[in-house]
């Protein structure tokens, strides 16, 4: 294709009408446009601000490998600012983003990350012990509780106590509030973001965030006065880290990054785990293969050995492929004209890398609507074909930790329980705030795992 100044074709419809479909039918929204307009399409804006969706591997490679100076990120993702703050890694640009990313990455890799395996296993045990055998329970709520407790212990260094309980309750409340259908509308219609007191949707969010901020700043102040220099929680590691000029992170920077880790690492992993249990229940052959693989490790396997299991890894990968929790990569606003797939994108164009559409390209993933973990054992996909955590210099820094946590939680629960949908109707994804999730009320029923010929694994 020769370069041209025309953007790809795409829908021209009133913004409010388009947003209603975007909010209420997130999957159908992109699927319908892709069927009509093809691999790349433009959602035309009324004020000259146009969004161009790309899903071809070649396009994604051009976007992710381009010089970051071509793009502005913070302004394009400003809808998260009220929650994450101005200093969130997600909203930073240029050198500030680069140096913050370098500072935050180490705790999520290598030995430090693996040290959290036992914590994840213990927390999963605590939550699953509360289930009543044969009684339906809200699977998403349980997964949220697991991932939130993991975050509070691993990131904040909180195990129990009054502050732990307060923060857990407040965070659950604010994320449930943001994920509710009514509040979701306010996230995308700015005129609804009015603080009319705690009885109004937006006012309630603002009130809860103020309470959370007070707790976080108090915790930071107390941690600065502590003499224990051997803490391994991520907050302590962040506080001891230094920029190239020798300066530490400020309290406000710490707060914003803590909120980023909480939101990005708690909600998303909980949704992924919920989907995994759904698919494992729907496909008995997947469950059997998983159990056989887990039993091959014997009794009390090390979490690092669990993380290396190929079929378990493939199940997690396929879960994140078929319904990626975040449907799009980070939006990029063009700062200086750039050519992508032969299109000359002018300044101000918003580029949307579509993760969902990339994961459902039939030439890459035959029968893409079928849950089939084996596809990840048969071949390796490039980072431009498989990108559940985004790509380029905006790839999620917590991706290794999220996958590690998923595997340990799945192994722990599958080794002791068989959980099945209470209502065997197929489940379709719904929007939960900025993410793609199972319906909020989805119920599952736990049964004690039937012993097989070999001794079941205990993790």
CATH top-level class of 15-448: mainly alpha
**Angle 79-84-86 from CA coordinates, rounded to 5°:** 85
Which residue do the tokens 């014997």 mark?
298
220: which residues sit within 8 A by CB, 6+ positions away?
235, 239, 251, 254, 255
What pTM value is reported for the model?
0.92
User: CA-CA distance, 131 to 416, in Å (whole number)?
Assistant: 12
Q: How confident is the model at residue 135 (pLDDT cuts 50, 70, 90)?
A: very high
CA distance 123 to 261: 18
pLDDT tens, residue by residue, 235-258: 888 888 888 888 888 999 999 999
Strand partners, 344: 339
Q: What residues does 52 pair with on adjacent strands? A: 42, 351
How confident is the model over 8-40, as pLDDT tens digits?
998 887 877 888 888 889 999 999 999 999 999
Q: Does residue 458 carry a pLDDT above 70? A: no
- pLDDT of 283 strictly over 50: yes
Comparing 45-54, 222-231, 340-349, which segment has the lowest mean pLDDT? 222-231
Cα dihedral sign for 160, 164, 169, 175?
Answer: negative
pLDDT at 352 over 90: yes
* pLDDT of 33: 94
Q: Strands 137-138, 430-432: parallel, antiparallel or unpaired by DSSP?
A: unpaired
3-state SS record for 264-324: HHHHHHHHHHHHHHHHHHHCHHHHHHHHHHHHCCCCCCCHHHHHCCHHHHHHHHHHHHHCC
Q: Which of 398, 408, 405, 399 is nearest to 302 (CA)?
A: 408
Q: Is the pLDDT of residue 387 over 70?
A: yes
Structure confidence at residue 2 (pLDDT): 39
- The answer on pLDDT for 417 being more than 70 is yes
Q: Where are the domains of the chain?
A: 15-448
**3 state SS of 339:** strand
Helix (H) or strand (E) holding 360: none
């Amino acid at each position: 294709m020769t370069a041209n100044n025309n953007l790809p074709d795409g829908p021209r419809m009133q913004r409010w009408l388009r947003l209603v479909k975007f909010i209420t039918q997130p999957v159908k929204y992109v699927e319908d446009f892709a069927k009509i307009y093809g691999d790349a399409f433009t959602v035309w804006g009324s004020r000259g601000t146009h969004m161009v969706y790309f899903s071809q591997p070649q396009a994604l490679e051009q976007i992710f490998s381009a010089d970051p100076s071509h793009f502005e990120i913070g302004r394009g993702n400003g809808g998260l600012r009220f929650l994450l703050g101005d200093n969130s890694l997600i909203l930073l640009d240029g050198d500030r983003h680069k140096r913050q990313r370098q500072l935050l990455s180490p705790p999520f890799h290598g030995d430090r990350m693996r040290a959290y395996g036992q914590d994840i296993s213990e927390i999963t045990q605590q939550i699953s012990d509360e289930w009543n055998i044969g009684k339906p329970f809200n699977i998403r709520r349980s997964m949220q509780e697991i991932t939130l407790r993991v975050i509070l212990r691993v990131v904040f260094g909180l195990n129990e106590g009054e502050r732990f309980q307060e923060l857990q309750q407040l965070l659950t409340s604010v994320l449930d509030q943001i994920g509710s259908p009514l509040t979701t509308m306010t996230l995308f219609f700015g005129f609804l973001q009015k603080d009319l007191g705690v009885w109004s949707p937006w006012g309630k969010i603002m009130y809860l965030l103020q309470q959370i901020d007070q707790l976080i700043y108090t915790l930071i102040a107390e941690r600065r006065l502590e003499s224990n220099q051997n803490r391994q929680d991520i907050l302590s590691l962040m506080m001891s880290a230094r920029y190239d000029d020798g300066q530490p992170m400020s309290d406000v920077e710490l707060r914003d990054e803590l909120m980023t880790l909480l939101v990005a690492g708690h909600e998303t992993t909980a949704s992924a785990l919920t989907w995994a249990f759904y698919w494992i229940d729907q496909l008995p052959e997947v469950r059997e293969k998983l159990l056989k693989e887990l039993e091959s490790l014997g009794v009390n396997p090390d979490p690092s050995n669990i993380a290396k299991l190929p079929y378990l890894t493939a199940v997690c990968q396929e879960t994140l492929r078929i319904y990626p929790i975040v449907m799009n990569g980070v939006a990029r606003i063009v700062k200086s004209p750039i050519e992508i797939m032969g299109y000359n994108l002018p300044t101000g164009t918003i580029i949307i890398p579509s993760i969902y559409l990339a994961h459902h390209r039939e030439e890459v993933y035959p029968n893409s609507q079928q849950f089939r973990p084996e596809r990840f054992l048969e071949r390796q996909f490039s980072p431009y074909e498989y990108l559940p955590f985004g790509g380029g210099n905006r790839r999620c820094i917590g991706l290794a930790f999220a996958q590690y946590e998923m595997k340990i939680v799945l192994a722990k629960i599958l080794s002791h329980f068989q959980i099945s949908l209470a209502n065997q109707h197929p489940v379709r994804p719904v929007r939960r705030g900025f993410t793609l999730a199972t319906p909020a009320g989805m119920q599952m029923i736990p049964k004690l795992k039937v012993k097989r010929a070999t001794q079941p694994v205990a993790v």
